[in-house]
Amino acid sequence: MISKEEFIALYQQKITRRGADRLLEWMEKADFFTAPASTRYHLACAGGLMQHSVHVYQRLEKLCTSEFGDQCPYSEETIAVAGLLHDLCKVNFYREDTRNVKENGVWVQKPYYTVDEQIPYGHGEKSVFIIERFVRLSLEEAIAIRFHMGGFDSKPGDNSVSAAFEKVPLALLLHLADLQASYLDESRE
C-alpha cells in the first residue's frame, strides 16, 4: 500500500509541467488522499482513490511497455498524468454516511459512502476540466482521460469511444489499465 508521501514523491518526480505544483496543492486541500475509489465496489475505503490512481498508473506503464517496448510514443510524464489523474472527478465527490444494518439480530449503524455530486459535468469530462484548471493537457492526454471509462460512460449509438480508441491508443490503454486495476488489483466489498 502506498502512502501519501510516496504518492507525492512519485507525482513530483513524474509530473513537472507548469502548474503541477498548484494542482497537487489543490489535491492536498481537497479529499484526494482520503477519498474512496467507489461507494461499494473497488477500494471503497479511506485512501482508496489515491491507491487506485497508483494502480492505474502502474498498469498503464506496464501496458505501454508490453505494447510498444522501447518505442513507446508516450513520455513518462504523459503516462503519469493519465494514470495518476484520470479520476480527479471523484475528489469531493463522496461523503460518509451511516445506515442501519442487522448484525446477529441487532440493528447497528454502519458507515458507508454515498455520492454527493457538486459538479454534474460527466466523469471523464470532469477530470479533464479539473486538471486543466491547473495544467495544460495534450490532446491525447485529454482524450485518454475523457474516455477512460470506455463504453461504461457512453450512450447506445455513440461511436465516439471507438473513434477515441482508434485514433488515440493511450485512451484504450488507460481504459484497460483502469479495468485491470479495478478488477485484478483491488478488493471489492
So what's the pLDDT on residue 112?
81
What is the C-alpha to C-alpha distance for residues 93 and 115, in angstroms, rounded to an integer?
6
Here the cell at position 84 is 495518476
Here the cell at position 27 is 489535491
Q: Is the pTM of this model over 0.85?
A: yes
Classified by CATH at the fold level, domain 4-93+120-184 comes out as: Hypothetical protein af1432 (1.10.3210)
What is the C-alpha to C-alpha distance for residues 158 and 169, in angstroms, rounded to an integer?
19
Could you tell me the residue ranges of all domains in the chain?
A: 4-93+120-184
So what's the pLDDT on residue 51?
97
| pLDDT, one tens digit for every residue, the chain (189 residues) | 899 999 999 999 999 999 999 999 999 999 999 999 988 878 888 999 999 999 999 999 999 999 999 999 999 999 999 999 999 999 998 898 888 988 999 999 988 888 888 888 888 999 999 999 999 999 999 999 999 988 676 666 667 889 999 999 999 999 999 999 999 998 665
Beta strand pairing status for 106-115 and 94-103? antiparallel
